[in-house]
Structure 1
Amino acid sequence: MLSHPFPWRIHAESSYQHHIALRDFSQGEVFTWAQLADEIRRTAETLTAQGVTAQSGVALCGKNGFPLLCCYLAALQLNARVLGLNPAFSDEKRTALCRRNGIRLMIDFTRPQPVFSEVKDVDFAEFDSVDHALFSACTMTLTSGSTGAPKAVLHSMRNHLENARGVCELMDFSRDSSWLLSLPLYHVSGQGIVWRWLLQGAELQLPGEDFYRSLTQASHASLVPTQAQRLLQYLADCPSNEMKSAVKIRHILLGGSHIPEKISENLTALGIQAYVGYGMTEMASTVFAKKCDGKAGVGRPLRGREFRLENDEIRLRGAGLGLGYWLNGKLVSLTNSDGWLQTKDKGGWDGENLQVLGRLDNMFISGGENIQPEEIERILQRHEQVEQVFVLPIDDAEFGQRPVAMVKFKTRFSESAVKNLHVFLADKLEKFKRPVRYFPLDTTISQQSGIKPSRIQLKQKLNEILGMK
C-alpha cells in the first residue's frame, strides 16, 4: 500500500511510469512520470535546504514554466502551503501579501534564475495555534471578491481532485489525452488544469514561444474568450493543408467572462468541441459546464456540486469547496450558517441551464431603473468589432448614475467605431441602458489583475480619465 497521497508519485510507481507525463515546448523536453517524480524530488531537496518544512508558507511568483511547476508540486510534497502571486504585482504588494498569509519563503521566477527570498517580519505564532483544518491545506489562492482586497482561499489536495473529476468526465479527458497549461498557476483556473492532469495521469503540455502553435498540439485546453478569438485567427492564417494535418486540439473549455456565440460556432466548424463553464476560486475552479449548444446558460452542476437560488443569488456547496479564507490570522468559513457559499452572483434557472446574470454588487440604479452592467456587456460583445468591453457607472446629477463603457476594439479606438456601437444598440437595449460615453480599455489592467480585469481598477482608471480622485 502506498504511504503517500501524491498523484505524481503514484503514477511514477505504477505500470505507467514510463508514459509521457509532461511535454515542455519551450525547452523541447519530454518527461515520463518516473523522470518527473525525480525532478520534483530534487526540487523538494532544494526547498528543504532553504528551510521549507511541513506547513511552511511558500510563495511562487512568475509566469508558467517547468521550474515554477516543479516548485509548486515539490512544496506540496513537503506538505507546505503554496501561494501563487501575479508577477505584475509590485514588490511592495508581493511582500505585503506574503506577510498577511504567513509566507516564509518567496521564490521569484521573473529573473533568468529563480531568486529565493526570506520574508521578514512575519508573525508565525498565529499559524502555530490555528485550527487543525489548516494542516490539510496545500494551496492558498488569492481572490479579490467585491471589495478588491485580496484574500486567500485554502484548499486541500482532496478539494482540487474532487473538482477535477467532474470536468474530466464532461470533457472526455483521460489518460490518453493532453491539456495545455494555458492559464496562470496563480489563478484557480490554471491550477484546475494541473489537478485534472494529475487525477488522470494524462499528459500536461507547457506552451512554447509560439503559444497558438503549442495550443494546436494538445487535445484539451482552457481559454478565455480573447485567447479563443486569437486561436481562430491563427488557424485562419494557416494554410488549409497544414491546419488539417497539424491541429490536434479537440476540446476547449471557455470561461472568464461572457462567451460570444460566434466563437463556439467557429470552433465547432473546425471540429473542435467548445464548452462553457462557470466557476469560483472558493470551489477550486469549474462548478457548472456544458457543451456549447447555441442556448444561453452554463448547464448543470458537475459531479458532486449542488446549487440553489435565493433572492436571485447563486449559492453553492459540494465538490471542491475549500477549507476557508485566511483572514487576520484566522481560518474563516466560506459558507453561511446553512452551509452554502454565497457567491454574490445573480442567477436564474430555466429548467436545464443556470443563467449567470452578473454580480449583484455590480448593479446600479439610473433614474430609478436597475442596471446590470453584464447585460449591456453581453450585447456589446456581439458586435463584430468589439474584442472586450466593460460597463461602469458614473455619477449624474439628474439620474443618479449613468452607464459608460470601456472598450477594446479589434481595430483602433475611434469616433467612427463608437458611432457604430450607438447604431448597433439602438434596437437592442432600452435607452436608459445604453452607455452615454465610451472610453478606450486599458489592457494593462488585465495583465495586473490576471484572467479578467478588476472592476475596481477599471473604475480607478475611469476616474483618472475624468479627472476625479
Structure 2
Amino acid sequence: MTAAAFGVKAWPWRHWADCAPDSLAIESDTSLTWQALVADVDRQQTQFNAAPVVVFDSRLAPQRLVVGLLAAWQAGKITLVLNHALSDDVKAAVLAELGEFQWLDRDNDKVRGSDAISIVPWQPWQPLTMTLTSGSTGKPKAVVHAAHQHLASAAGLTQMLPFQGLSEHEERPSSSTDSWLLSLPLFHVSGLAIVWRWLFKGATLAIFPCQGEALPESLTRVTHASLVPTQLYRVLPWLAARQAPSRLKHVLLGGAVIPARLTQLAEQQGIACWCGYGMTETASTVTLKRADGHDDVGEPLPYRTVALASDGEVIHRGDTLALGYWQAGRLKALSAEQGLASRDLARWETRRQRPVLRIIGRKDNQFICGGENVQPERIENHLLQRDEISQVVVVPVIDHEFGARPVAIVQSTAPLDQVQLTAHCQSLAPYQRPIAFLPWPTFEQGASIKPSRVQLAQWASQQIEH
C-alpha cells in the first residue's frame, strides 16, 4: 500500500486547509475554519513530551479533545481517550498495559506556544489510536487502529449514507457542507468514527451540547447525528412541536435494537434513519441499511468482509479490521488472514435478492433455562414489536429449579401492564417467556452507549428477591 489511503495523501486537516482554508471545519461556540484549525492543532502539539502514547482524560472539553487528538497524531503519538467513569481498578489495569505514556487532563494541558514542532509524515498504516472495548466480560482491551482502518470505515459508510463535504467539489470549494454532530463520546469507537467521517469528507464537525434538554436544539443545527434509540424517542416530540425548520436529515442509530415505530415517527419528520452492526475492532460500522422495520442489520459495507463460522459466529476481515491489541507496551497483532471471531451469532437472510445479516445474539449473553439455550435478543426483538416499548433488555435471574429464568427490563411510554406483556409472550417457547417485567431503572449506568447487561442483571436479581 502506498502512502495514500482511500485518496488521502496527507494529514486530512492540513489537506483541507490547503484546498479551502476559509471553509468551516468546526462549528461550535468557537468555530474554526480549516486554516484556523491547523493553527490551533500546531499550538496544541507543543504540550507533548517524548512519551509515545498520549492518554486524554475524557472530561476535557470536546473541542479541546478533538484538537488535541489531531495534534497528537501529527506528532506521531498513539492516543487513548480514557473514560473517567471507569472504576479506579479498571483504569489502573488499563494504564499498566500502556508502557510509557503522557497523561493529559484539565490540570496539565498547558500549551507552550513558542516551541517549534515537528510534524511526522503521513503514514496511514502506523498505529494511531487505541480504543477500549466495553469490558463486559472482563478487563477492557485496548484496540489499535491506524488511519487506514478509520478511513476505510468512513469511505465505506459514506458510499451508502450520503454525507457531503469538500471532497465532492474540491475544485470549487463551497461552504455548504453537511455537518455531523459530535454526539457520542470519543472514548467509544462510534465517537471516533464521527471524527474520521468529517476528516475524510472535508465536511463540518458540529460541537454543541448533547446532554439532556440541550440535545434537541443542537440537533436542529446539524444535518447528521449518531444517536441511541432512547435519545431519538425523547427529541422527536420536541422537534415536531418546533415551528422553525430543522436541518437534520440523517440519523445513524446504534447501541440497541431499533423499534419500527421509532423510525416511522422520524421519517414522518423527514429524518432518514439508518442502522447497522459493528464493533470496536472493526472501526465502528460493518453493515448498514435504511431502517425498515425488519430485524436484520443490512448488508456489509465496502472494504469489509463478513463470514459465518459453522456455528454461526461472525468472522470479520477486511480493511477496517484493527491492527491488534496493545498489551504490555506493544502491539499484539491480529491475523488479517484468520480474521476476528466476534462472539456474535448471526445468519444470512435473502431480502430483495440481496443477502443481509441477521444478528441472533452474543454467545456471551446466552444462558440455560431448564436445559434449553436462551438467547435474550430473541425475546427482546419479540417485545419490541409493541409500539409502547422503546427499549428492553432481557437478563437471567437464578432459579433453583431451572438454573436461570428470563426477566425483561422494559423502557416504555406507558405504564407496564404485566398481563398484556405476559399474553404477548405466549407465542414464545415456554423457556423464553419472562417471569417478570420490570420498569427501566433510574440509576446511573455510566457513559457507555449500550446498557450494561451485567449491571442490569444484578439489579433485576435484587428486585426479584425483594
Q: How many residues align?
A: 430
Q: CA deviation at 1:367?
A: 1.7
User: 2:295 and 2:439 mapped to 1: Cα distance?
Assistant: 28
Partner of 1:179: 180
Partner of 1:169: 159
Alignment RMSD = 2.7
The answer to whether residue 396 in structure 2 is matched with residue 404 in structure 1 is: no
Helix, strand or coil: the match of 2:103? strand
User: 1:7 and 1:149 mapped to 2: Cα distance?
Assistant: 34
Structure 2 counterpart of 1:33, one-letter code: W
Partner of 2:261: 262
Conserved in 1, the CA contact under 8 Å of 2:376 and 2:395?
Answer: yes
Conserved in 2, the CA contact under 8 Å of 1:139 and 1:156?
Answer: yes
Q: CA deviation at 1:92?
A: 5.0
Q: Which moved more, 1:150-159 or 1:200-209?
A: 200-209
User: 2:419 and 2:44 mapped to 1: Cα distance?
Assistant: 56
Superposed, which structure 2 residues align to 1:337-416 within 5 Å? 338-351=337-350, 352-410=355-413
Conserved in 2, the CA contact under 8 Å of 1:60 and 1:72?
Answer: no
Superposed, which structure 2 residues align to 1:53-202 within 5 Å? 53=51, 55-62=52-59, 65-102=62-99, 104-108=101-105, 114-116=106-108, 136-144=126-134, 147-175=137-165, 176-202=177-203
Aligned partner (choices 6, 10, 14) of residue 5 of structure 1: 10
Q: Under a length normalisation based on structure 2, what TM-score does the superposition of the two structures give?
A: 0.85
Structure 2: gaps of 5 or more residues: 111-122, 166-176
User: 1:90 and 1:144 mapped to 2: Cα distance?
Assistant: 13
Partner of 1:206: 207
Hey, which bits of structure 1, 4+ residues long, moved more than 6 A? 1-4
Partner of 2:313: 313
User: 2:385 and 2:98 mapped to 1: Cα distance?
Assistant: 41
Helix, strand or coil: the match of 2:398? strand
Conserved in 1, the CA contact under 8 Å of 2:56 and 2:65?
Answer: no
Conserved in 2, the CA contact under 8 Å of 1:445 and 1:457?
Answer: no
Deviations 1:259-318 (A, max 9, x none): 001111112112221111111100101110012233331211111111111111111111
Q: CA deviation at 1:424?
A: 3.1
User: 1:192 and 1:368 mapped to 2: Cα distance?
Assistant: 41
The answer to whether residue 19 in structure 2 is matched with residue 21 in structure 1 is: no
Superposed, which structure 2 residues align to 1:23-42 within 5 Å? 23-24=27-28, 27=29, 29-42=30-43
Partner of 2:299: 300
Q: CA deviation at 1:145?
A: 5.2
Conserved in 1, the CA contact under 8 Å of 2:136 and 2:452?
Answer: no
Structure 2 counterpart of 1:105, one-letter code: Q
Structure 1 counterpart of 2:452, one-letter code: S
Partner of 2:242: 238
User: 1:161 and 1:436 mapped to 2: Cα distance?
Assistant: 46
Aligned partner (choices 451, 454, 463) of residue 453 of structure 1: 451
User: 1:79 and 1:418 mapped to 2: Cα distance?
Assistant: 57
User: 1:346 and 1:458 mapped to 2: Cα distance?
Assistant: 22
Partner of 2:230: 226
Partner of 1:111: none
Partner of 1:332: 332
Q: CA deviation at 1:346?
A: 0.8
Structure 1: gaps of 5 or more residues: 109-113, 119-132
Say which structure is richer in helix: 1
Q: CA deviation at 1:234?
A: 1.8
Helix, strand or coil: the match of 2:26? strand
Conserved in 1, the CA contact under 8 Å of 2:57 and 2:84?
Answer: no
Helix, strand or coil: the match of 1:447? coil
Conserved in 1, the CA contact under 8 Å of 2:98 and 2:330?
Answer: no
| Percent of aligned positions that are identical | 39
Conserved in 2, the CA contact under 8 Å of 1:405 and 1:435?
Answer: yes
